[in-house]
Amino acid sequence: MRIIRAKDYEEMSGLAADIIAEVIKEKPDCVLGLATGSTPLGVYEKLAAKYRAGELSFSRVATVNLDEYKGMGREDENSYFRFMRDNFFSKVDIRPENTHIPDGAEEEEKACRDYDRVLERVGRIDLQLLGIGHDGHIGFNEPAEAFSKTTHCVRLTEETAEANSRFFSGREEVPSYAYTMGVGSILSAKKVLMVAAGADKARILKKAAEGPVTPAVPASILQFHPDFTLVADAAALAELRG
Ligand code: GLP
């Protein structure tokens, strides 16, 4: 596990974008695993800036997103489909048909099965970008009794629903369930890159990076990944030993 210490959110975003840009330059038809949440927004901005500057093209890149709220249609303003389109895909030259997100409007079994087929078809993820939830969730893999393998439906914890309610008009608007890529699929990515910022992530980052590997802290499994990089700002790293 490699930890890259950034002084602030801006620097974290730039460093993470540089790592992703390297992967694309080395392999223009790479598969990127992408994440939502507010933390990666700066990374997407930096990547879009590289595209505008003519440094980077996404024309052959394929993407697979981690998750989507159950029951949410693509055009719903709170769908992760919209989030990705508005914050990233519309700002670069990626082909919409090369971008993939679980279908929130589809019924549970079919949505998950179809998404696993998509993952199989696009092939091994070259780099998976991740944020981290306050309870250690990655994608929407909440603390559980065991690590999940493939795409599945999860019930959001109260803490996650509360944290994500800032994107909605109120807590009661937050869906109770989501479809998420399994921890197994995340782990099979060649590289995993996590971004984290802010003092509110310090406690969980310490647990995830230095605590026991346990499904009670899903992100802790990344300690076992052979190519895992954490890029975080000073506030988020405040409780780590090293
Ligand atoms: C959501 C997403 C996660 C993300 C988490 C943290 O629950 N499903 O992928 O990591 O939020 O979000 P933020 O970066 O806004 O703290």
Look at residues 7, 37, 10 and name the one whose alpha carbon lies nearest to residue 235. 7
Integer-rounded Cα radius of gyration of the chain: 17
Cβ-based neighbour number of residue 123 at 10 Å? 12
- For residue 242, pLDDT over 70 is answered with no
Q: How far is the CA of 6 from the centre of ligand 1 (A)?
A: 19
Structure tokens at 63: 């993407």
- Tell me if 67 sits within 8 A of 80, measured CB to CB: yes
For ligand 1, whether the C-beta of 65 sits within 6 Å is no
For ligand 1, mutation pick of 12, 36, 176 (most atoms within 8 Å of CB): 36
Nearest 5°: phi and psi at 125? Answer: -70, 130
* pLDDT digits 0-9 by tens, 191-239: 999 999 999 999 999 999 999 999 999 999 999 999 999 999 999 999 9
Residue 175, pLDDT above cutoff 80: yes
User: Residue 40 carries which DSSP code?
Assistant: T
* DSSP-derived pairing of the beta strands 191-196 and 228-233: parallel
pTM for this prediction: 0.97
Task: Pick from 9, 41, 87, 132 the residue to mutate for probing ligand 1's pocket: most ligand atoms within 8 Å of its CB.
Answer: 132
Q: The tokens of 133 are what? A: 């939830």
pLDDT tens for each residue of 52-98: 999 999 999 999 999 999 999 999 999 999 999 999 999 999 999 99
Q: Is 36 in the pocket of ligand 1 (CB under 6 A)?
A: yes
Q: How far apart are CA 236 and CA 197, in angstroms?
A: 5
What is the residue-averaged pLDDT of the chain? 97
